[in-house]
Each structure stands twice: as structure tokens, then as C-alpha cells.
């Protein structure tokens, strides 16, 4: 495990948690774990931070199995148990339904909506008011362009977001972390991602946006940071209304 990357990511997580008041003493945090590099990295850092920070909080890992064929959760279970993290794995048929004739919407929209609904229900059932997602800086930027191109609105993910009359609070501790840092850190470990089984994962609108942005970043290394800063520097007086 690379110490430099560990320090870099940890500092950015600490900055996000502090700047946006994400975590407080005694919090019960449910971490939504997809099984990919982002959510596993987030879960591990939140667990490790308990060793040296002055506050205490409780972690619980939740994995929603979307129900695609030939999926195995053994490695995910091993990860949770080796790290001594309480967990719950819920088996569903959300994935197949999203790609079936009963769904008239975009598969990603259906899947995301159903999964989030289930996460809220389980968090409520287990008594967890904060839900942590592994969304990082690149996700924030990509979501901005997804909403502009396909949603006809200017919006993106928030570092902290409240739902249902403030009963739940979503937090994104990786909000300031570049995806490339997570990729490099993950490769330095012996962890294994859960295999991607969604048939539209590599042809989705988000993937198209990601590819487009990557090409732009190659032309000017400042573009990515400029976009991220622009999200936090909206000049409302120059934004027209219909």
C-alpha cells in the first residue's frame, strides 16, 4: 500500500468531512457498497480513521446485489469480515427488471432509483440516519454534464444532501478526491472489485460523458479543476431565466 497515496486521499477526505460537517460524534453511518473500487476504498478509509481521530462513529456496510447472473459475493464478504465491519447483503432482481420489457425508462435511471429506495428503507429499518456514498470528484463533474445534456438543467451531486424532512443525510467523503488517486491506491492493495455484470455499463450515457471529458482533459490539464471550481463559483447574475 502506497503511503503517499494514502496520505493524499486521507487529507482530502478529512478536508471534505471538516468543510461540509459530514460526520459528528456518535453518528451511525450506513456505507452503500457496490463492490467497486470507490465504495471499498471509502469504507476502508472511514474504518481506518477511527484509529486516530478524536470522535467515534459506527459503520455498517450495505451491499445491494442487483441480481445479474454469475455474480459471487464471497470476496466482498471476505473483505467485510477481514476488516471487522458489520454488513448486510440484500439479493434483488433490480438489474434484470431494469433491462426487461416492464421498464419503459432508461435502465440506469430505473436501477439507480430502485436501489436508492431500498437503501433508504434498510437504513430506516436498521436505525442509520447517515448514508455514505463513494462518489468522487469525477462523478460530480460527470453528473453536471449528464444533467445539462440529458436533463436540461444545471445541477450535480452535493457533498451533503438531506432527504425526507432531514430524516436522512447522504454524505460523500470522497467529494474532493480524484478518481485516478482511488484507482492507484486500489491497485496498491490486494483487494478485488466485484465483477461488473451490468450489460449497459460500458455503453451508458455516463460512460459517454466520461470518455468525452477524458479527451478534453488531454488538451489542457487545467480543464478538470476549472470545471470543479466553476461548480462552486456560479455567477447567478449572469444566468438567465426562462
Q: Domain 3-238 belongs to what topology? A: Rossmann fold (3.40.50)
Sketch the domain layout of the chain as residue ranges: 3-238
pLDDT in tens, the chain (242 residues): 677 899 999 999 999 999 999 999 999 999 999 999 999 999 999 999 999 999 999 999 999 998 887 778 999 999 999 999 999 999 998 887 888 878 767 788 888 889 999 999 999 999 999 999 999 999 999 999 999 999 999 999 999 999 998 899 999 999 999 999 999 999 999 998 887 777 776 668 899 999 999 999 999 999 999 999 999 999 999 999 87
Please tell me the distance from the alpha carbon of residue 67 to that of residue 197, in angstroms, as a whole number. Answer: 9
Contact 22, 4 (CB under 8 A): no
Give the model's pLDDT for residue 202: 67
* Residue 213: how many other CB atoms lie within 10 Å: 17
Please tell me the distance from the alpha carbon of residue 200 to that of residue 177, in angstroms, as a whole number. Answer: 26
Contact 53, 10 (CB under 8 A): no
The model's pTM is 0.93
pLDDT digits (tens, 9 = 90+) for 141-185: 999 999 999 999 999 999 999 999 889 999 999 999 999 999 999
The grid coordinates listed for 154 are 444545471
pLDDT digits (tens, 9 = 90+) for 173-198: 999 999 999 999 999 999 988 877 77
Q: What average pLDDT does the structure give for the chain? A: 92
Compute CA 52 distance to the chain's CA centroid, rounded to the nearest angstrom.
24
User: Which residue's entry shows cell 451508458?
Assistant: 204
Amino acid at each position: 500500500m502506497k503511503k503517499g497515496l494514502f496520505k493524499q486521499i486521507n487529507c482530502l477526505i478529512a478536508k471534505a468531512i471538516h468543510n461540509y460537517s459530514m460526520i459528528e460524534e456518535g453518528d451511525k453511518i450506513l456505507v452503500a457498497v457496490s463492490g467497486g473500487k470507490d465504495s471499498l476504498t471509502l469504507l476502508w478509509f472511514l474504518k481506518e480513521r477511527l484509529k486516530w481521530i478524536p470522535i467515534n462513529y459506527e459503520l455498517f456496510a450495505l451491499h445491494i446485489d442487483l441480481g445479474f447472473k454469475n455474480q459471487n459475493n464471497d470476496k466482498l464478504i471476505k473483505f467485510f469480515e477481514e476488516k471487522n465491519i458489520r454488513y448486510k447483503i440484500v439479493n434483488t432482481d433490480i438489474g434484470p427488471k431494469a433491462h426487461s420489457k416492464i421498464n419503459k425508462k432508461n435502465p440506469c435511471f430505473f436501477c439507480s432509483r430502485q436501489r436508492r429506495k431500498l437503501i433508504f428503507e434498510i437504513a430506516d429499518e436498521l436505525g442509520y440516519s447517515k448514508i455514505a456514498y463513494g462518489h468522487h470528484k469525477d462523478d460530480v463533474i460527470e453528473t453536471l454534464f449528464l444533467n445539462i445534456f440529458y436533463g436540461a438543467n444545471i445541477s450535480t451531486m452535493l457533498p451533503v444532501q438531506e432527504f425526507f424532512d432531514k430524516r436522512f443525510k447522504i454524505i460523500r467523503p470522497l467529494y474532493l478526491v480524484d478518481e485516478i488517486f482511488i484507482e492507484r491506491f486500489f491497485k496498491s492493495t490486494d483487494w478485488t472489485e466485484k465483477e461488473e455484470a451490468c450489460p449497459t455499463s460500458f455503453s451508458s450515457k455516463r460512460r459517454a460523458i466520461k470518455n468525452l471529458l477524458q479527451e478534453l482533459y488531454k488538451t489542457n490539464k487545467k480543464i478538470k479543476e476549472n470545471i470543479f471550481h466553476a461548480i462552486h463559483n456560479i455567477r447567478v447574475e449572469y444566468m438567465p431565466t426562462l
